[in-house]
A and B are shown apart, each in its own frame.
Chain A
Amino acid sequence: MKFRSVFDIIGPVMIGPSSSHTAGAARIGRVARTIFGRKPNWAKIHLYGSFAETYRGHGTDVAIVGGLLDFDTYDERLVQSLELAEQMGLEVEFFEEDTVMDHPNTVKIRIGDQRGELEVVGVSIGGGKIEIDEINGFKLKLTGEHPAIIVLNNDRFGCIAGVASTLAKNHINIGHMQVSRKEKGKLALMVLETDENVEESILEEISSLPNILQVARIVE
């Protein structure tokens, strides 16, 4: 079941005009920002399907950028986010894409700064709910509604066990877990949705495990 809570139906409280094209778009931007972990210096935003056709009218562009600035769906600064991005040193570019995606409201966000880059593909599935379908080319499913950690690692034995036992040691329960790789023995990505927020110190502990390359988190 895609919708589990009554507040997916009566809610969210948001700045208009469209739950899928404004609120959902802002949420995708904000999840990308959260995974990146800091304000990016640049963003290249590729819009597909209905997003590409109607983004100006719905303020989809404004909303995604607002999300990248870490504004929530009901934050009244959202309306000025394009101006605020300029002031805050976030350079934004939009691309209208022709490729037909599985879902009409799809966006690919590439963000970065001197220290790194991130690519996220997100889908706004209606009523303000979203799914993250891809991170740095790895296929996955992430809603951004639960705390989560995202781990990039060399595809070797023991990585998953190492991450899981670090969480266990810190009394953190895993609600959902997914592993993804592009090629055997190369790079792999795991996403673990947890019941509790994962503290910065635990993140550092995981980063220091063998074959772990990068760790990011989503906190509630």
Chain B
Amino acid sequence: MLFRTVRELVILAEKEGKKISHIMIEQEMKVTKMSRQEIIERMEKNFQVMESSVEKGLKGVTSRSGLTGGDAVLLQEYLKKGKHLSGGFILDAVSKAMATNEVNAAMGMICATPTAGSAGVVPGTLFAVKEKLNPTREQMIEFLFTAGAFGFVVANNASISGASGGCQAEIGSASGMAAAAIVEMAGGTPSQSAEAMAITLKNMLGLVCDPVAGLVEVPCVKRNAMGAANAMVAADMALAGIKSRIPCDEVIEAMFRVGQMMPSALKETAQGGLAVTPTGKKLEREIFGKPQKK
């Protein structure tokens, strides 16, 4: 294993003068014994799935429950009017993140990044930033390896599942991964990637996983939306030279501990938070005809 922490990853990349994505590819070669070519081709396939799920979502989909769908389209139409207040690239990322999660909620095909419930953030930001930075196809694949490298550290040192760490572990991790990858694509340094991840994750600490009716829809789709926005802003902050006072690895550790302290009612069991609001319960009854067993 070439790295186990963000610190080790950054030191290695800066010492060898390599991009984080390249370190990730090297580690993958070492662990899986696959060739560089095979690894890149495999990531290329994931990239294609992400691209088509964004496209599909931007055409408009609706989930079986009817709870989600169509918001990605609404935001794109609004953007076209040119009257938006926040940045166009942010809103484009938000729309594309929602597109992916709307497809996911509709039992469509997606690529989990790192999970299905958080699958919108990384492709959402990637396909938005693409419009601004005009990256090569190679750079877009690298974006996914960089995101993967940071996710790898979180998964091994904390958690990426809502059931064990709450939403902070899922969409929080996805947003941190995206922020770090945006920084690399924009030409930032490995340590700026780490700062972006730290800034993002700090702002998602404590976020609970409270899906209405237990479905990966409400509030998941909109949390992916704001996760994408969070990642874009944090990437800009890091590129501006702003640093996180708490190092990235310690933020990850804090996230893990917060997740351990979180009651199970707020970890994907649909027993707390938005899931048990009067409207949340009402929606649950409407969808399943009766409340699910508690």
Contact = CB atoms under 8 A, between A and B. Distances in A.
Interface stretch (B11-19, B100-108, B236-244): B100-108
25 contacts: A6-B24, A6-B39, A6-B152, A10-B111, A10-B114, A10-B147, A11-B111, A11-B112, A11-B113, A13-B49, A13-B111, A13-B112, A14-B112, A15-B108, A16-B106, A16-B107, A18-B216, A20-B161, A52-B293, A53-B269, A54-B269, A55-B214, A57-B211, A57-B215, A105-B161
Given A1-B4, A6-B24, A13-B45, A53 B270 contact: yes
Interface residues of A, number: 44
Contact of A20 (B46, B106, B113, B115): B115
A104 B107 contact: no
B105 A17 contact: yes
Q: Which 9 pairs across A and B sit closest by C-beta, in order of nearness?
A: A126-B161, A54-B214, A57-B214, A16-B104, A9-B151, A17-B216, A6-B148, A57-B215, A19-B115
A96 interface: yes
Contacts of B39: 6
Contact of B32 (A1, A5, A55, A57): A5
Nearest to A96: B293
A6 B144 CA distance: 9
Nearest to B106: A16
B117 A12 contact: no
A96 to B, nearest CB: 5
Interface of B: 1, 4, 24, 27-28, 31-32, 39, 42-43, 45-46, 49, 63, 103-117, 119, 122, 144-145, 147-149, 151-152, 155-156, 159-164, 177, 211, 213-217, 264, 267-271, 287-288, 292-294
Contacts, number: 177
B43 A126 contact: no
* Dominant secondary structure of chain A at its interface with chain B: mixed
A194 interface: no
Contacts of A8: 114, 152, 155
